[in-house]
């Protein structure tokens, strides 16, 4: 928490701080995601800049009370411009011993730890894996290091709802709102956004007014407890961030992808047909789009990943906007069909919301390890365009850009999002609906001049669609004869067509912007990144620059084709560092393509980079202690040359 001036309001002094990182943690059934989302919503509405990191187990309900079942939600809210959910936690809310155990190491020294004391009893302590007779709350090592507040949240919540006539179980379900109310008080935030949400969701949508009322009561009880209990020395206030004036909403990456795709379909005057098979962390895109039928959106929940991609290809063949969405394991299943889309040169979008791999891997955790799969994971020489958004809000623009490229070049385009972007949220300024260029689409109708594999100046073939008289033609996975599109096994033709499929990708280069460095155009070190690591990289580079280092950042949205000036940009820096949440996939490409001795900071821990980790890597690169090592890995948030 950044220091600021203290002021007084009522009995409790309110201390002004520039930013705060709060983490809600509890059992996966404790409603921590809801508490976190509501806190985020309120923070955004009062004008803070926000960045969030939900962190939940793959199991819907892992055994209650165990460390495996802990669900967390971290939010960084600030009076300044921020790009990450924060390296270190200023205030932890731990609803049970397991949550305490799982998250206490991330709290800053001197930080606030609010525990639900009611749950720190024998059974739960045992479930959390603490030795018999040990309670960490009685342990001086924690009490000396943190400001630990033992609040019997379960009991207080029960007492505040004792008159409702509700059962103990239902009452217990409201305790997240008690905790949220307390945190609202502690950070001087209004309750009305959450009250409105509870009344709408439980009261109107679920038709459970009693439940709505009980949640509101708990929320207020938590707030008033903070006010009257007089055990907290200080409250904190985070002022409005200097955000560009305008209308905003909070947006997650998956929401932004959904909205971006719908926007693109309207700009192209095509029906968006989203074909997908449920998979974490991509399913929310399907959920959002399924609720958008009135925007003309059709969703098709296919029987499997292969059917999902194949039906999207069928949609493209029939002349509409076919999109399939998945995560890494699903992309592997779709590989053969993506090859069919490449061979038939049909425009379609493949979303891959990456997660930890290989195999089932870490379904709910983030990673960037599908880059090479996206680029090369198919039989044959089979190039597709690959784009990666850099922030939750950028998912919107990336989706539109992907559709624009697909339609202009008659080519499948893959979007590489990740679990961190998908579930993370940030403020999103509402775009002007009239500010977008249309996405032009042409379908040929002239039977006399039509050739299925003739090409325009971008090497795109004509998108002739069924229903057009005289343009009947047959597509397929067999090699096509140049121009006529008939099946051809001719050796020279196969060479020509393979070359054309590659040249088509290079043509896209002519339409994409040059990569611009953030910072000076030349210097000692360039930190090159792609995708969801943008926020951490940019913040670390800004900090290093403030410390007087000659460092710049550059971020790739286009992974295939790469921007034309990338090699030239790198040549202006003495050293290149590539931080990635994989073992060095972009680094391998950059080294192979540009013969640049790029170094890697590689983290494969299911979590995004901390700013600090990148800062440390920058230091090691600049002071020369990195040496000839090709890569380093942070261990327990420390990057050292011994790691």
Partner 1 sequence: MTTAIPDAPKLTAKDFASDQDVRWCPGCGDYAILNQVRKVAAKLGSRREKTVFVSGIGCSSRFPYYMNTYGFHTIHGRAPALATGVKIANPELDVWVVTGDGDGLSIGGNHLMHILRRNVNVNIMLFNNRIYGLTKGQYSPTSEEGKKTKSSPMGSIDLPLSPLSLALACEASFAARAIDVDRGLAAILERAALHKGTSFVEIYQDCNIFNHKAFNYATDKQAKLENTVTLEHGKPLIFGKDRNKGIMIDANHKPQVVTIGQDGVSEADLLLHDEHDERLAFTLSRMNHPDFPEPMGVYYDIEDDCYETMLDKQVADAVKAKGPGTLEDLFNAGDIYTVEG
Instruction: Looking at residues 215 to 274 of the shown chain, list those that interact with partner 1 (rule: CB under 8 A).
Output: 240, 243-251, 259, 262-263, 266, 271, 273
Q: Does 303 bind partner 1 (CB under 8 A)?
A: yes
Regarding 441 and contact with partner 1 (CB under 8 A), the answer is: no
Q: Angle, to 10 degrees, between the axis of helix 175-186 and the axis of helix 32-45?
A: 30
Q: Partners of 112 in the beta sheet?
A: 91, 147
Residue in 544, 529, 534, 537 with CA at minimum distance from that of residue 598:
529
- Is residue 10 a contact residue for partner 1 (CB under 8 A)? no
Closest approach, Cβ 388 to partner 1, in A, equals 23
Binding residues for partner 1, total number by CB under 8 A: 73
**Residue range at the interface with partner 1 (CB under 8 A); choices 132-140, 179-187, 467-475, 580-588:** 467-475
Q: Is 162 one of the binding residues for partner 1 (CB under 8 A)?
A: no
Least distance in Å: CB of 322 to partner 1?
Answer: 6
Judge contact between 71 and 30, C-beta under 8 A: yes
Contact of 420 with 251, CB cutoff 8 Å: no
First-to-final CA distance of the chain: 29
Least distance from partner 1 to the Cβ atom of residue 339, Å = 8
Quick one: which of 137, 208, 292, 362 contacts partner 1 (CB under 8 A)? Answer: 292
What mask of x and - would describe binding to partner 1 in positions 15 to 44, judged by CB under 8 A? --------------------------x--x
For position 468 contacting partner 1 by CB under 8 A, the verdict is yes
Task: Give the residue, chosen from 467, 491, 548, 624, that forms a contact with partner 1 under the rule CB under 8 A.
Answer: 467
Tell me the C-alpha distance between 379 and 394, whole Å.
31
Please, which residue, 381 or 499, has the CB nearer to partner 1? 381
Can residue 356 be called a binding residue for partner 1 (CB under 8 A)?
Answer: no
Q: Alpha-carbon distance 396 to 173, whole Å? A: 35
Residue 448 engages partner 1 in binding (rule: CB under 8 A): no
Contact of 75 with 48, CB cutoff 8 Å: no
Nearest to 552 by CA among 569, 534, 527, 577: 527
By CB under 8 A, tell whether 349 contacts partner 1: no
Out of 76, 90, 218, 311, the only residue in the binding site for partner 1 (CB under 8 A) is: 311
Site for partner 1 in 46-85 (CB under 8 A): 47
**Residue 165 lies near partner 1 (rule: CB under 8 A):** no
Cα–Cα distance measured from residue 282 to residue 222, given in angstroms and rounded to the nearest whole number: 35
Q: Give the SS3 label for residue 52.
A: strand
Q: Interaction with partner 1 in 507-536: which residues (CB under 8 A)?
A: none
Q: Which stretch binds partner 1 (CB under 8 A): 136-144, 226-234, 307-315, 543-551?
A: 307-315
Q: Are the C-beta atoms of 587 and 600 separated by less than 8 Å?
A: yes
Around Cβ 496, how many Cβ atoms within 10 Å? Answer: 14
472 binds partner 1 (CB under 8 A): yes
Q: Give the one residue of 14, 18, 137, 475 binding partner 1; rule: CB under 8 A.
A: 475
Count of other CB atoms within 10 angstroms of residue 512: 17
548 lies in the site for partner 1, by CB under 8 A:
no
Q: Name which of residues 419 to 438 contact partner 1 (CB under 8 A).
A: 430-431, 433, 436
Using CB under 8 A, pick the residue from 177, 221, 307, 384 that binds partner 1. 307
Per-residue HEC secondary structure of 386-422 comes to EECCCCCCHHHHHHHHHHHHHHHHCCEEEEEEEHHHH
Which is closer to partner 1, CB of 50 or CB of 62?
50
β-bridge partners, 298: 273
Please pick, from the candidates 473, 502, 518, 637, the single residue that binds partner 1 as defined by CB under 8 A: 473
Nearest to 24 by CA among 175, 159, 224, 127: 175
414 binds partner 1 per the rule CB under 8 A: no
As a whole number of angstroms, the longest Cα–Cα distance in the chain is 87
Asked if residue 555 lies in contact with residue 580, where contact means CB atoms within 8 angstroms, the answer is no
Choice between 356 and 452, CB closer to partner 1: 452
Contact flag: residue 205 with partner 1 (CB under 8 A): no
Q: Which of 5, 109, 141, 294 binds partner 1 (CB under 8 A)?
A: 294
Dist. CA 496–CA 494, nearest whole Å = 5
Contact yes or no for 259/392 (Cβ under 8 A): no
Among 68, 318, 483, 641, which residue interacts with partner 1 (rule: CB under 8 A)? 318
Binding status of residue 451 toward partner 1 by CB under 8 A: no
Using CB under 8 A, which residues numbered 112 to 151 contact partner 1?
A: none
Residue 477 burial class via C-beta count within 10 angstroms: exposed 0-12, middle 13-18, buried 19 and up: middle
- Give the C-alpha separation, 516 to 568, whole Å: 11
- 10 or 467, CB closer to partner 1? 467
Asked if 466 touches partner 1 (CB under 8 A), the answer is yes
Site for partner 1 in 477-496 (CB under 8 A): 477-478, 486-487
Binder to partner 1 among 469, 491, 548, 624 (CB under 8 A)?
469
């Amino acid at each position: 928490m950044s220091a600021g001036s203290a002021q007084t309001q009522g009995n409790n002094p309110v201390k002004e701080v520039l930013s705060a990182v709060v983490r809600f943690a509890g059992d996966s059934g404790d409603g921590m995601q809801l508490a976190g989302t509501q806190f985020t919503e309120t923070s955004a509405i009062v004008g803070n800049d926000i960045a969030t990191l939900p962190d939940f187990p793959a199991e819907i309900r892992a055994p209650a009370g165990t460390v495996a079942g802990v669900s967390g939600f971290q939010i960084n809210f600030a009076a300044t411009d921020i790009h990450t959910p924060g390296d270190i936690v200023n205030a932890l809310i731990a609803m049970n011993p397991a949550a305490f155990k799982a998250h206490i190491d991330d709290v800053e020294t001197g930080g606030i730890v609010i525990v639900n004391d009611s749950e720190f009893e024998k059974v739960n302590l045992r479930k959390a894996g603490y030795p018999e007779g040990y309670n960490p709350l009685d342990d001086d090592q924690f009490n000396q290091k943190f400001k630990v507040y033992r609040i019997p949240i379960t009991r207080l919540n029960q007492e505040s709802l004792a008159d409702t006539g509700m059962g103990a179980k239902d009452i217990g379900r409201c305790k997240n709102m008690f905790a949220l109310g307390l945190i609202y008080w502690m950070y001087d935030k209004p309750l009305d956004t959450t009250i409105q949400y509870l009344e709408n969701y439980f009261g109107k949508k679920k038709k459970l007014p009693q439940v709505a009322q009980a949640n509101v009561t708990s929320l207020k009880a938590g707030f008033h407890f903070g006010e009257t209990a007089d055990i907290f020395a200080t409250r904190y206030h985070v002022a409005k961030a200097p955000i560009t004036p305008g209308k905003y909403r909070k947006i997650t990456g998956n929401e932004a992808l959904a909205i971006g795709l719908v926007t693109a379909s309207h700009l192209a005057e095509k029906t968006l047909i989203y074909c997908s098979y449920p998979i974490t962390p991509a399913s929310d895109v399907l959920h959002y789009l399924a609720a958008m039928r009135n925007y003309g959106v059709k969703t098709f929940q296919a029987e499997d990943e292969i059917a999902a991609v194949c039906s999207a290809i069928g949609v493209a063949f029939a002349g509409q906007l076919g999109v399939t969405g998945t995560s890494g394991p699903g992309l592997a299943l779709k590989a053969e069909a993506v090859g069919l889309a490449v061979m038939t040169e049909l425009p379609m979008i493949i979303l891959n919301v990456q997660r930890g791999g290989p195999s089932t891997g870490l379904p709910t955790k983030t990673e960037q390890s599908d880059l090479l799969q996206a680029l090369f994971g198919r039989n044959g020489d089979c190039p597709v365009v690959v784009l990666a958004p850099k922030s939750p809000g950028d998912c919107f623009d990336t989706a539109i850009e992907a559709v624009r490229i697909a339609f202009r070049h008659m080519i499948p385009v893959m979007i590489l999002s990740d679990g961190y972007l998908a579930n993370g949220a940030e403020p999103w300024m509402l775009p002007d609906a009239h500010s977008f260029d249309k996405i032009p689409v042409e379908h040929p109708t002239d039977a006399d001049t039509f050739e299925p594999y003739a090409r325009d100046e971008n090497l795109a073939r004509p998108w002739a669609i069924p229903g057009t008289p005289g343009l009947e033609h047959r597509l397929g996975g067999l090699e096509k004869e140049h121009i006529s599109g008939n099946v051809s096994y001719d050796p020279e033709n196969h060479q020509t067509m393979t070359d054309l499929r590659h040249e088509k990708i290079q043509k896209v280069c002519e339409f994409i912007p040059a990569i611009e460095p953030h910072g000076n155009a030349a210097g000692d070190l360039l930190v090159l990144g792609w995708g969801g690591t943008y926020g951490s990289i940019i913040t670390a580079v800004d900090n290093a620059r403030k410390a007087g280092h000659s460092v710049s950042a550059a971020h790739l949205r286009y992974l295939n084709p790469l921007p034309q000036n990338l090699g030239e940009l790198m040549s202006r820096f003495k050293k290149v560092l590539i931080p990635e949440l994989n073992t060095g996939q972009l680094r391998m490409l950059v080294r192979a393509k540009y013969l640049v001795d790029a170094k890697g900071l590689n983290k494969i821990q299911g979590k995004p980079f901390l700013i600090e980790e990148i800062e440390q890597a920058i230091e090691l690169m600049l002071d020369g202690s990195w040496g000839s090592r090709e890569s380093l890995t942070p261990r327990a948030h420390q990057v050292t040359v011994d790691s």
